[in-house]
Amino acid sequence: MTERVSEMKMCSVRWAFRCASWTPSRAEWLFAARCIQKEEKERIGQFVFAKDAKSAMVGRLLIRKFVCEKMGMPWSEIRLERSHRGKPYLAAPSKNSSDSGAAWSFNISHQGDYAVLAANQGFQVGVDIMKNTLPGSNSVPEFFRIMTRQFTAHEWSVIQSSGSEYQQLAAFYRHWALKESFIKAIGTGLNFDLQRVEFHLTSEPLTSGQVLHQTKMHLDDEEEDWIFEESLLDPDHHVAVALGPADKPGVTTNSSLTSPPPPTSFTLLSFSDLIASASPLSEEDPAYWVSFKTKDEAPQRQRETRTFRQPPA
């Protein structure tokens, strides 16, 4: 039994990288740029702010690290493309397979201070990370009013009865991450009506160092057999991972997950970890560093955005 659990854990990947604390040196930024595809490098170079460029760069490196180390494809042979909705995918999947032969699914997300990657064999995967902040200068009630249509009456009841403004925002972003993880797993994009899905949270509190997986999802008023892993990277960052049946390309209807994987915690990577398997695909481009150094870290309004923190007990 122990061997079976260990094998299942090997079929799950949860990686996180704290982009906010990464101040790349010239050597790091130029090496990273050499290790991604030309069109990726050009797209990242077009970002106005360093924060966005760093997050996008890390996202590409996370995917390539995963494909190289877990799917067994040499770094130089990895070819990533984007769907018409902008979702990255592997253009030529590796022929190497695990003992189970199940296909891998992966997804990335970056928001707030982190970029994350989640991957599993034998499941559809979606991941979303949200930072507990109040955008702009809106009050919490005004912010909730603007977002009214994104949640059901049940979800709003849970959010608005959570306690302090901090706790209400935490509940809001927890629900938002859950919804986005599902949408990203099924790949429907912006056309999906978020009120079709309703989440019923476990009564167990979400705390750092723990992965919850008891939350249930209702789709069109019917409970679905999807699995949702929830965790905190730190007190301000919620992460949700959606795991659905691999044989269903779209929205499921009471499909059964007969062998759900054990919940997996996120591993925080260093830059050295991120490029451990990387190999350059192009020559060094000194002008790329010069361009990066001219970028402001983030828009002024983001630098001034208020972060809500748990009041001391």
Domain ranges of the chain: 2-307
- Whole-number Å distance between alpha carbons of 308 and 313: 15
- Whole-number Å distance between alpha carbons of 31 and 288: 11
Structure confidence at residue 101 (pLDDT)? 59
Q: How far is CA 308 from CA 112, 161, 312, in A?
A: 13, 17, 12
User: Between 93 and 311, where is the model more confident?
Assistant: 93
Per-residue pLDDT tens over the stretch 106-151: 999 999 999 999 999 999 999 999 999 887 767 899 999 999 999 9
- Whole-number Å distance between alpha carbons of 186 and 184: 6
Residue 126 token pair = 């979606």
Measured N-to-C along each axis, helices 286-293 and 38-45 cross at an angle, to the nearest 10 degrees, of 30
User: Between 84 and 306, where is the model more confident?
Assistant: 84
Residue 241 token pair = 């991972």
Structure confidence at residue 56 (pLDDT)? 97
User: Between 89 and 197, where is the model more confident?
Assistant: 197
Among all chains, which residue has been given the structure tokens 């990533």?
80
Question: In percent, how much of the chain has pLDDT > 70?
Answer: 83
Compute the mean pLDDT over every residue in the chain, rounded to the nearest whole number.
Answer: 87
pLDDT over 50 at 97, yes or no = no
- Laid out side by side, the sheet with 267-268 consists of 104-111, 114-121, 12-18, 267-268
| Residue 203, helix vs strand vs coil | coil
Among all chains, which residue has been given the structure tokens 């390539």?
64
What φ, ψ does residue 245 adopt, rounded to 5°?
-60, 130
Q: How far is CA 142 from CA 135, 164, 188, 281, 311, in A?
A: 11, 15, 29, 49, 22
Q: How far is CA 242 from CA 164, 170, 251, in A?
A: 28, 19, 13
Give the other-Cβ count within 10 Å of 129's Cβ: 27
Parallel, antiparallel, or unpaired for β 227-234 and 80-82? unpaired
Distance of CA 97 to the CA centre of its chain: 24
**Taking a C-beta distance cutoff of 8 angstroms, is the pair 189, 85 a contact?**
yes
Structure confidence at residue 88 (pLDDT)? 79
- Whole-number Å distance between alpha carbons of 62 and 118: 10
User: Please, what CATH class does the domain formed by 2-307 belong to?
Assistant: alpha beta
Parallel, antiparallel, or unpaired for β 12-18 and 267-268? parallel
What φ, ψ does residue 99 adopt, rounded to 5°?
-60, -35
Structure confidence at residue 114 (pLDDT)? 98
Q: Give 110's contacts (C-beta < 8 A, 6+ positions apart).
A: 19, 55, 56, 58, 59, 116, 129
Interval 62-74 mean pLDDT: 96
